[in-house]
Amino acid sequence: MIVIMKAQAQMRDISAVISRIEDAGYKVHLSEGDERTIVGVIGDGRPLDRDQLERMPGVERCVPVLKPFKLASRDFKPNDTTFPIGNHMVGNKEIVLMAGPCSVESRSQILETAHAVKEAGAHILRGGAFKPRSSPYAFQGLGEEGLKYLAEAREQTGLPIVTEVMEPAMVPLVCEYADILQIGARNIQNYALLHAVGESQHPVLLKRGMSSLMEEWLMSAEYILSHGNTRIMLCERGIRTFEKYTRNTFDINAIPVIKQLSHLPIIADPSHATGKWEYVAAAAKASVAAGADGLIIEVHPRPEEALSDGVQSLKPKRFAQLVVEMKAIAEAVNRKIS
Ligand code: PEP
Ligand code: MN
């Protein structure tokens, strides 16, 4: 349930409502909007008398939230969630561009790519140091060495870093280096990891699982939110269908649907969504037109030599061209890529 306070409610009215709810054994999450405060009632407690709550000073009305996700829902927080990453506000009018290789492969590779994507207009550098690979025999990433190279790339370019964390025990280490923690598609229901990332209070890029319903994806976000971490970006990276010509099927529907259901920013990953570099630009441009708040795109200076996902990686020159095209589309839909 949520308790919607009147626009003119006083702090003491809000405090009284919070005490009443907590006394009944629930947890409270506050959503402080420009106009009014919404008090979210979370958890299992004794039945609350809705009429009584509605008679309290400053309360406008109580609304049951029937969706399984509460804190992630627009009912609880009508306004878009925005937060800064580096010099950028995520979730605002401006679309944020993350780019870089699938994996950090060497110091020179990540430094070269970082400078190239910055030059092309990226705002955030991506690169996996811990890689979730389908085969145990495939390149597993450079681990902490890779994180160090990413930090050096940030120092040289000023680009904040997004990189994947795969297990709860690694969260403190990855937080030391990363500006954004990526939770990969394979880990979206790793609840211990969601818990640890929620506690970390670090910004999160939460990929959709390859077979996740949008509701399950939002429930994963709910885990992170329930630990007080509100800086979450949801990332559509394609889902598994019967189609074989592409690696995944890009569910562009997720962009407007998530926008309607949730206040959290939505990012598109056209690289994993298509799996072939030839299709990345089309999916990327469609994402901008559909209202994505950002994109994460794999770029490699020599895709043919890449240790992972070379087939779907753009060369820096193509990425630069794509940025120019996306800028025009962004303007047409009243957004901006700076
Ligand atoms: C990646 O970003 O390189 C990655 C492994 O993505 P996903 O978890 O979406 O497969
Ligand atoms: Mn990849």
CATH code, domain carrying 9: 3.30.70.1140
Buried b (16+ CB within 10 A) or exposed e, 271-303: bbbbbebebbbebbbbbbbbbbbbbbbbbbbeb
- Top mutation candidate among 98, 113, 164 for ligand 1, by most atoms within 8 Å of CB: 164
Q: Going by CA atoms, what residue is nearest to atom 4 of ligand 1?
A: 184
**Does a structural domain hold residue 71?**
no
Residues 103 and 155 grouped into a single domain: yes
Residue 77 Cα to ligand 1 middle (Å): 29
Q: Which atom of ligand 1 is found nearest the CA of 182?
A: 2
Q: Are residues 11 and 111 in the same domain?
A: no
Question: In the 3-class helix/strand/coil scheme, how is 70-99 assigned residue by residue?
Answer: CCCECCCCCCCCCEEECCEEECCCECEEEE
Can you give the pLDDT at residue 241?
98
Q: Ligand 1 centroid vs 273 CA: distance in angstroms?
A: 10
What's the gap in Å between 330 CA and the centre of ligand 2? 25
Q: Which atom of ligand 1 is nearest to the CA of 309?
A: 3
> Does a structural domain hold residue 76?
no
Q: Length of the chain, please?
A: 338
For residues 331 and 65, what is the distance between their CA atoms, to the nearest angstrom?
A: 36
pLDDT tens-place values along the chain, 338 residues long: 999 999 999 999 999 999 999 999 999 999 998 899 999 999 888 999 999 999 999 999 999 988 999 999 999 999 999 999 999 999 999 999 999 999 999 999 999 999 999 999 999 999 999 999 999 999 999 999 999 999 999 999 999 999 999 999 999 999 999 999 999 999 999 999 999 999 999 999 999 999 999 999 999 999 999 999 999 999 999 999 999 999 999 999 999 999 999 999 999 999 999 999 999 999 999 999 999 999 999 999 999 999 999 999 999 999 999 999 999 999 999 999 99
Asked if 28 and 39 count as a contact pair (C-beta separation under 8 A), the reply is yes
Q: Which atom of ligand 1 is nearest to the CA of 103?
A: 3
d(CA 169, CA 136): 20
The pair of three-digit structure tokens given for residue 198, joined into one six-digit string = 């929620």
Distance 320 CA to ligand 1 centre (A): 22
Q: What is the pLDDT of residue 310?
A: 98
Please say whether the dihedral angle defined by the alpha carbons of residues 14, 232, 197 and 236, taken in this order, is positive or negative. positive
pLDDT value at residue 34: 86
Mutate which of 135, 237, 271, 309 for ligand 1 pocket (most atoms within 8 A of beta carbon) = 237
- Judgement on whether residues 239 and 123 belong to the same structural domain of the protein: yes
Ligand 2 centre distance from Cα of residue 70 (Å)? 31
11 and 101 assigned to the same domain: no
Q: 157 and 26, same structural domain?
A: no
Ligand 1 centroid from CA 272, angstroms: 7
Which pTM does this prediction carry? 0.96
Q: Can you tell me the distance from the alpha carbon of 325 to that of 254, in angstroms, rounded to the nearest whole number?
A: 22
For residue 189, give both structure tokens.
């229901």
User: Which protein residue has the closest C-alpha to ligand 1 atom 6?
Assistant: 184
- Rounded Cα distance, 5 and 227, in Å: 23
Query: Could you tell me if 139 and 269 lie in one domain?
Result: yes
Pocket lined around ligand 1, Cβ cut-off 6 Å: 102, 128, 132, 184-186, 207, 237, 272
State in Å: Cα 226 to ligand 2 middle: 29
Interior angle at CA 150, CA 145 and CA 153, nearest 5: 130
Domain with 299 in it: 83-332
Cα separation, 145 vs 267, whole angstroms: 28
The Cα–Cα gap between 144 and 165 comes to 11
| Shared domain check, 250 and 324 | yes
Does 317 lie in the same domain as 168? yes
Mark whether 180 and 290 lie in a shared domain.
Answer: yes
Which numbered ligand comes closest to the C-alpha of 134? 1
Cα 107 to averaged position of ligand 2 atoms, centre (Å):
18
Domain assignment present for residue 70? The answer is no
Residue 273 Cα to chain centre, angstroms: 15
Counting ligands in written order, which one lies closest to the CA of residue 310?
2
Tell me if 73 is assigned to some domain: no
The ligand with the least distance to the CA atom of 313 is 2
Looking at the CA of residue 128, tell me the nearest atom of ligand 1: 3
Ligand at shortest distance from the CA of 299: 2
Q: Tell me, yes or no, whether 69 lies in a domain.
A: no
Residue 159, domain CATH: 3.20.20.70
Backbone angles phi, psi at 212, to 5 degrees: -80, 135
Residue 338 lies in a domain: no
Count of domains observed in the chain: 2
Residue 75 located in a structural domain: no
Instruction: Give the position, in ligand 1's atom list, of the atom nearest the Cα of 185.
Output: 8
Query: What pLDDT was estimated at residue 44?
Result: 87
Beta bridge partners of 40: 2, 29
The verdict on 209 and 320 lying in the same domain is: yes
Give the residue, out of 102, 105, 189, with the most ligand 1 atoms within 8 A of its beta carbon, to mutate for a pocket test: 102
Specify whether 150 is located in the same domain as 23.
no
User: Is 146 a domain residue?
Assistant: yes
Kindly state the tokens that stand for 35.
């106009």
Query: 58 and 167 in one domain?
Result: no
Output the CA–CA distances (angstroms, integers) from residue 172 to 169, 194, 200, 222, 268, in the order listed.
7, 13, 8, 21, 27
